[in-house]
Structure 1
Amino acid sequence: MTEPSEPAADVGVGPWPGGPGNWPPDPRLDPDLLADGDRRNVLDRYRYWSVEAIVADLDTRRHPLHVAIENFGHDMNIGSVVRTANAFNVAEVHVVGRRRWNRRGAMVTDRYVHLRHHDDVADLLAWAETASLPVYGVDNVPGSVPIEGFELPREMVMVFGQESGGLSAAARAGCAEILHISQYGSTRSINAGAAAAVAMHAWMVRHARPA
């Protein structure tokens, strides 16, 4: 006989004990969260903080890595990429192509990252040139080099293509180098969201301080 599973613990914290008269005099705290509780998927140190206060704190220590993803086919992986970009606290996420994208996979983490839209790859490349940032693609195409052990620049743009077709020809042509993630099984490629997570982590291993 299977034992009944224990109910899942509530995420986050409830209302601040004691009511409004006992709220801390901290301008970073959100009165609505203090009154109703904070059930968001945020670090404990950010409990009751307003979104604006969290973003301001993250801005003090963002990494100089920019992440771009092409959005010509309304790829559902963009949300996953944004969520990972938030976890690694990158400088900005650039969406290239369609302005609208499926935000479900981001799990509202898009509130805490800086998003920039580009109509096309040419606009992204022009922005990167103005910002003096080299652009590196991630795709397992002929001529690409393994990301493992590659000397990733500290300040850079890492661009990802669509789930089905990978990087567009325009994006490949504009990259200083195209990197691939080494694979050892039978599948030709891994999910675009997973690839972005692996590639961003490779940058973090090289350049980020311990969390």
Structure 2
Amino acid sequence: MSTDEPGPTEWVGRGDAEVGVGPWDEAVRGPVPDDPRLDRDLLAEGDRRNVVDAYRYWTREAIVADLDTRRHPFHVAIENFGHDANIGTVVRTANAFTAAAVHIVGRRRWNRRGAMVTDRYQHIHHHETVADLVAWAADAGLAVVAVDNTPGAEPIETAELPRDCVLLFGQEGPGVSMDARSRADLTVSIAQFGSTRSINAGVAAGIAMHAWVRTHADIDRAWR
């Protein structure tokens, strides 16, 4: 990456103040770099997007292309037979951990509000049924790992998550469907100690993705 990218100290503000960077100031930074990744409108108007500082002023297409060189070999899938409101949160978290892609199973439409615009940078695919997803995963050489607190599930805290896999999540409440559990190569559970039978699907997805990261990711490549 270019050394001309603004650093962490160049945020305009935190909390209620604007975040990001203002217009490129040639008096302070010198001439605008001759870099095709940079967006001329953002350079002129400032960049207030929810992106890491290394991507300030970059075009969306350039960010996606760079993320494609950093993506991890795990995928995330979530069932959407009841129009689950947690899907946006799952997409946002998948983007944070650079999942290869997110797969929506069932209804094509989903609530994007929780994604906080991160769906612009994340590859998202749709499958009509669980069988379609499993068939696609088999062709791609990916194990399907269902995440659900169900009898017979292996604790995720001690399970060996496959490196090349699809982490499959169910809807809030019913969890992973019986069809999905029967087709999965492995089902893992998340240890809980309170009175509630299950935790929020978006939270469960974050825990499972981070478990994968702790096992397989190169932490030195994380943004600092």
Q: Secondary structure at the match of 1:128?
A: helix
Indicate the percent of aligned positions where both proteins have the same amino acid: 67
Q: How far, CA to CA, are the matches of 1:33 and 1:101 in structure 2?
A: 29
1:8 and 2:16 correspond: yes
Cα deviations across residues 5-49 of structure 1 (Å, max 9, x unaligned)?
A: x97332001111149x94321100011111111001111010000
The normalised TM-score by structure 2 is 0.88
SS in 2 for 1:53: helix
Q: Map of 1:127-146 to 2, 5 A cutoff?
A: 127-146=136-155
List runs of 5+ in structure 2 lacking aligned partners.
Answer: 1-13
Query: What count of residue pairs does the alignment treat as equivalent?
Result: 205
Residues in 1 aligned to 2:112 and 2:32: alpha-carbon distance in whole angstroms: 33
Asked whether 1:169 is paired with 2:139, we answer: no
Q: For 2:40 and 2:22, how far apart are their aligned partners in 1? A: 13
Q: Distance in 1 between matches of 2:165 and 2:33?
A: 41
Q: Could you list the per-position Cα deviations for residues 151-175 of structure 1 after superposition, in whole angstroms to 9, with x for gaps in the alignment?
A: 1111111100000211111111110
Residue 101 of structure 1 is matched in structure 2 by 110
Alignment partner of 2:119 out of 97, 110, 118: 110
- Counterpart Cα distance in 2 of 1:7 and 1:133: 41
Task: State the distance in 2 between where 1:99 and 1:66 align.
Answer: 18
Does the 8 Å CA contact 2:173/2:198 hold for their aligned counterparts? Answer: no
Q: CA distance change for structure 1 residues 7 and 89 in 2, over 3 Å: closer, same or farther?
A: closer
Q: Counterpart of 1:196?
A: 205
Is 1:178–2:187 an aligned residue pair? Answer: yes
Give the aligned partner of residue 209 of structure 1.
Answer: 218
Offset from partner CA, 1:66-119 (integer Å, 9 cap, x none): 100001111010000000000000111000011110000000000111111101
CA RMSD of aligned residues (A): 1.5
> What stretches of structure 1 move > 4 A for 4+ residues in a row?
none
TM-score if structure 1 supplies the norm length?
Answer: 0.94
Gaps of 5+ in 1: 1-5
Aligned residue for 2:70, secondary structure, equals: coil
Q: C-alpha distance in 1, partners of 2:196/2:171?
A: 17
User: What is the aligned partner in structure 2 of residue 3 from structure 1?
Assistant: none
